[in-house]
Chains A and B, each alone.
Chain A
Amino acid sequence: MRFSALRILKEGLTGNKGWTPHWRDPAPKPAYDVIVIGGGGHGLATAFYLAAEHGLTNVAVLEKGYIGGGNVGRNTTIVRANYNMPGNSEFYSHSLKLWEGLEESLNYNVMHSQRGVINLFHSDGQRDYAARRANSMINQGDDAILLDREGVRRMVPYLDFENVRFPVYGGLYHPRGGTARHDAVAWGYARGADMRGVDIIQNCEVTGIDVENGRVTGVQTTRGAIKAKKVGIVVAGRSGQVAALAGMRLPIESHVLQAFVTEGLKPCIDQVITFGMGHFYISQSDKGGLVFGGDLDMYASYAARGNLPLVEHVMEAGMTLMPMIGKARVLRSWGGIMDMSPDGSPIIDKTHIDGLYLDCGWCYGGFKAVPGSGNCFAHLIAQDRPHPAATRFRLDRFRTGVGLMDEEGTGSQHNLH
């Protein structure tokens, strides 16, 4: 079924009786060409691009719960391509371009909203780094504008410019950055993959990865054994556990990241604003809730929930930056499990086992990467060589020290990125 305004009109006039499932619930087949472990945004996107761009349709996505139930369903919905380091720079640029055509590719409104992202800076040194990053973005072919204090004030006059601990010196403005409706991204990719023949199998947990003579042959699941020529692991948040099924130990530590949404309010914040001094970022959803978050809770966790010290720190940052949000009431908080890597950048690579591929380590930047990650991982799986936009996301870079992408400059302490 093709979605359109006309279809809504027709269904509305005929009692909305013609709607059909967005994706099927097939039983697993005995064997597939490719099994993608993980029905999150990245996994579903991988399956979509395997089918749409590489003609691989005998593909299954195995999801232990319901699709889109991990970080793609639990984030602050920000989409941007404003990285400084080579590797990240070309990858996120590629991903943003995919975002820009996503509604058309998927025939699904993921509400990608290019409302602009402003990264504030608060010292001369931070301005220098923002400029360096802005220049990197333009070198990459993306867009960046360096705003001075008055430029920021014109765009977001409600920040506290007068009596504030860290005065605003200016901002790095990325007009093509913005937000998207997170759940819809998972559903749109699921529907797109399903339409092309991919089997999306929910409530199917992988319990073993079968390897013979150094080559992957299939997986064991709670719904039985399934053969496969190739298997992709794309389960950020649980990467360590699934990789361990193949005897691998990863450079990943799992951390909890909390985020928050307020009650619905009339429009008041039009862009995405980030406040590095307070590890704070905020936007307003189309529904009216202020969606915001901060730093990690800073302890290894799989609980998908956090504690008050971080909650309060995030609120403090909001109050010093934009005291006009004080009376907004936090409606809900949530926590996601972050795959923290030693340099804060992801891994899309082959493993030491033939036919087994790994996509992980997205830290807390995985949402905006969904199209790019799916696209590049599909390319790697289908062609056995990295996509040109993801050549640097190698697993061995930590051992060799070649091509590290430590955007924060904090070194190999996983939680500090």
Chain B
Amino acid sequence: MRLPCPICGERDRREFYYRGAALALHRPDPDAGDEAWADYVHLRDNPAGVTRDLWYHEGGCSAWIVVTRNTVTHEVLGAELAEGAR
């Protein structure tokens, strides 16, 4: 598996750390309430198909990136820097 780092170009999966769904980008306000926080921390859309998830180019440029990817075929459709993806 290879991922396109927006900074470094296509790199082997070994260079990346995986975190999970990109909804981690959307941290609720502290007072958003129990439901919003439980959702944020625990619930997942978990699609069988196209998803956006967060990877960290740990063995490379240290960028956190959002990869658009298909969870059924493992096709990678694109990647962008997380800081611009919110």
Residues on A lying within 8 angstroms of B by beta carbon are 238, 240-241, 249-254, 298-303, 307, 309, 342, 398-399, 412-415
Contacts and interface: CB of A to CB of B under 8 A. Distances in A.
A215 B24 CA distance: 33
Contact of B38 (A238, A252, A300, A399): A399
A241 B51 CA distance: 14
Contacts of B44: 240, 249-253, 414
B10 to A, nearest CB: 15
Interface in B52-86: 53, 69, 71-74
A241 B48 contact: yes
Given A300-B21, A413-B19, A253 B46 contact: yes
A246 B34 CA distance: 22
Interface of B: 1, 12-14, 18-21, 34-35, 38-39, 41-48, 51, 53, 69, 71-74
Nearest to B47: A240
Nearest to A309: B14
A303 B48 CA distance: 9
Contacts of B42: 251, 342, 398-399, 412
A-B pairs with the 3 shortest C-beta distances? Answer: A399-B38, A251-B42, A240-B46
Given A253-B20, A309-B13, A413-B20, A302 B43 contact: no
Nearest to B34: A399
B46 to A, nearest CB: 4
Nearest to A339: B46
Contact of B43 (A250, A298, A300): A250
A300 B74 contact: no
A307 B1 contact: yes
Contact of A299 (B34, B39, B53): B53
Q: Taking each of B13, B18, B20, B46, which has the highest tally of chain A beta carbons within 10 Å of its own beta carbon?
A: B46
Contacts of A300: 20-21, 46, 51, 53, 71
Nearest to B37: A399
Nearest to B1: A307
Contacts of A249: 39, 43-45
Contacts of B38: 398-399
Given A251-B42, A251-B43, A398-B41, A303 B72 contact: yes
A345 B74 CA distance: 27
Contacts of A250: 43-44, 46
A255 B19 CA distance: 12
A72 B60 CA distance: 39
Nearest to A305: B74
A101 to B, nearest CB: 36
A253 B22 CA distance: 12
B14, B45, B47, B71: most-surrounded residue (chain A CB, <10 A):
B71
Contact of B20 (A302, A303, A414): A414
Nearest to A343: B42
A251 B23 CA distance: 13
B41 A342 contact: yes
Contacts of A342: 41-42
Contact of B18 (A254, A298, A412): A298
Contacts of A398: 38, 41-42
B18 A415 contact: yes
A406 B38 CA distance: 16
A342 B21 CA distance: 13
A303 B46 CA distance: 13
Contacts of A303: 71-74
A250 B69 CA distance: 21
A324 to B, nearest CB: 27
Given A249-B43, A254-B48, A309-B12, 9 more contacts: A240-B44, A250-B46, A251-B43, A253-B20, A303-B73, A309-B14, A399-B38, A399-B42, A412-B42
